[in-house]
A = this chain, B = another copy of it.
Amino acid sequence: MRAPLIAAALLVAAPLHADPLPSWIAGDTKAAILDFVESVTDPASDDFVPVADRIAVFDNDGTLWAEQPAYFQLLYALDILREKAEADPSILSSDVLKAAAEGDMDGMLANGLDGLIEVVNVSHSGITVEDFKASAHEWLTSQAHPGKDVVYAELVYQPMLELLRYLRDEDFQTYIVSGGGVDFIRAIAGEAYNIPPHQVVGSEGNTTYELVEGEPVLTKNGGISFVDDKEGKPVGIMRHIGKRPILAGGNSDGDFAMLEWTTSQEGPSFGLLVHHTDAEREFAYDREGHIGVLNRGLDEGPERGWLIVDMAEDWARVWPGTE
């Protein structure tokens, strides 16, 4: 269990005027980020943006942490589903759920996102929000990723941690805006990213307020009330933040609308896509598969002025605590 290392890495104070992005290799990509942040924070600049409007939003899976071989929340849901099915096999009431319990990822995802939602739905219900977060936190900080020799919570991208901290140092508010479940991400966002719960926007499950033995609790009771993905991301941002961001970062076409909305406004804005080109240190994928598919962003991003971050070329290191 090496998760505390992450928190420790965040706490190391940078000397004044030190490079705020030491894990980004010097070049056009790094320069573009520094130039944008400098221009919107310099009171003498035409592009100056007041502190209250310095809103930055980031996708989570594939943008701040890894998402292969599948979204971590899905892998967690599968573990919980198997646990629940051992106690009561009758919960495997559909082909999707049976495939999921058998670890047949293709069968589960045969119908796209719906299969994923069905699994999450069954595995994330009948539990209080607090107990769910404790369970997710325990899993993320104790279970080892298949293929990487560390717990899931450590598979955050060091360059993105530096970018988050740099933006906050420049008085940005840094939000996560994820298709993943809001409670799952909040279970670890403080520790992993130094982001408090109110700055996490995500998909939302139905929750009920009720008294259990006289004590009020909030219970996750199955069903999804809001999907914070694709066109849902700008909607989620408006609902939670109530303002259009000036910087948006993502890695898949699920982030397209969020970047489009962010970069279509009058005044300065910045769109960034992490391109997974690094089979050696992380993973290499884009146009194919079920997870983190990136087509439209690669085709249209450059002409829209979005920065395509080439993980293999632009990042000196990928993971915290590595050289």
Residues of A within 8 A of B (CB): 52, 129, 173, 182-183, 186, 196-198, 200, 204, 207-210, 215-216, 218, 225-226, 231-232, 234-235, 238-243, 257, 260-261, 264
Contact = CB atoms under 8 A, between A and B. Distances in A.
29 contacts: A52-B196, A129-B238, A182-B239, A182-B242, A183-B242, A186-B242, A197-B241, A197-B243, A198-B198, A198-B241, A198-B242, A198-B243, A204-B239, A207-B235, A207-B238, A207-B239, A208-B231, A208-B235, A209-B231, A209-B257, A209-B261, A210-B231, A216-B257, A216-B260, A216-B261, A218-B235, A218-B238, A225-B225, A240-B240
Oligomeric state, in copies:
2
B197 A242 contact: yes
A289 to B, nearest CB: 25
Contacts of A183: 242
A234 B261 contact: no
A243 B232 CA distance: 24
A86 to B, nearest CB: 30
A297 to B, nearest CB: 15
A226 B226 CA distance: 10
Nearest to A242: B197
A9 B193 CA distance: 38
A178 B229 CA distance: 26
Contacts of A216: 234, 257, 260-261, 264
A225 B226 CA distance: 9
A234 B215 CA distance: 13
A181 to B, nearest CB: 11
Given A183-B242, A209-B261, 6 more contacts: A198-B198, A209-B257, A215-B264, A218-B235, A225-B225, A240-B240
Nearest to A215: B264
A123 to B, nearest CB: 19
Contacts of A208: 231, 235
A236 to B, nearest CB: 10
